[in-house]
Structure 1
């Protein structure tokens, strides 16, 4: 069985998010129910992922500016979602080599990058929603 690289897995998740974003408005409009952010509900501050559902729905509808204002991280996820299909196909047909495991240094770097991305997203959400520590 072929293993998938981290970018392929994230891109696959992005494909699922795009599918869910296409049907989400129909589910929530009829019922009036949505998924609140647990951190924002209980602590009053947004999480780094706040706005991703709104951003995904806006991006699926072609509203790039609205998607950016909700959560710009959606563009990275969308880019991986678009790239994952051809990447998996090229690897499955043998045109590209299968993914190689990351070195411990590579894993550490990606961990730091993910942490910095989450921190930047969180600061963006705090600013967007006007949360102040004062």
Structure 2
């Protein structure tokens, strides 16, 4: 590593390095943007109350191929409906569609607000909520527990399998 030749060289080099506040603001934007976009899309969609799944088809997405082929939902079937139902204040529908969607909705609000605060202040707010390895396990357990509930309730009510 060579020493800078003058103070001007050092100033030029420091301009190339990301500043902590600038980096924090970019991370805040990278987190807040998708969270608020998801929440806006959830509010824009109309949750399908009669089925408690299939809301994603309003965005032009195809029906779940696992559901179409087997008659049983995949682990994330109903998640879009659940989050959309929460955006419309329909908690019972959200719980029926996929219980983990309620947690996903709440997490999107928490991380969306934290991202906006970090974007506005430049402070590392999200760094304090740093992901740990066990977060993945908690999320996966939540998704699969919600899926188990959807399957259990659907089989008991005769909703699954789709014929």
Q: Which residue of 2 aligns with 1:22?
A: 43
Is the alpha carbon distance of 1:82 and 1:88 closer, same or farther for their aligned partners in structure 2, counting shifts above 3 Å? same
Q: Once the 2 structures are TM-superposed, how far is the Cα of residue 74 of structure 1 from its aligned partner? A: 1.6
Is the alpha carbon distance of 1:14 and 1:73 closer, same or farther for their aligned partners in structure 2, counting shifts above 3 Å? farther
Q: Once the 2 structures are TM-superposed, how far is the Cα of residue 91 of structure 1 from its aligned partner? A: 2.3
Please provide the CA RMSD for this pair: 3.3
Q: Once the 2 structures are TM-superposed, how far is the Cα of residue 45 of structure 1 from its aligned partner? A: 2.0
How many equivalent residue pairs?
Answer: 121
Where does structure 1 lack aligned partners over 5 or more consecutive residues? none
In the TM superposition, structure 1's runs of 4+ consecutive aligned residues that sit over 3 Å from their partners are 1-5, 11-14, 94-98, 100-103
Written as runs of structure 1 = structure 2, the 5 A alignment for 1:56-95 is 56-92=83-119, 93-95=121-123
Q: Following the alignment from structure 2 to structure 1, what is the Cα–Cα distance between the partners of residues 126 and 94?
A: 33
Q: Once the 2 structures are TM-superposed, how far is the Cα of residue 49 of structure 1 from its aligned partner? A: 1.2
Out of 12-21 and 50-59, give the one that drifted further: 12-21
Where does structure 2 lack aligned partners over 5 or more consecutive residues? 1-22, 47-54
TM-score scaled to structure 2, two decimals? Answer: 0.57
Between the two structures, name the one with larger relative contact order (CA 8 Å, sep ≥ 6).
1
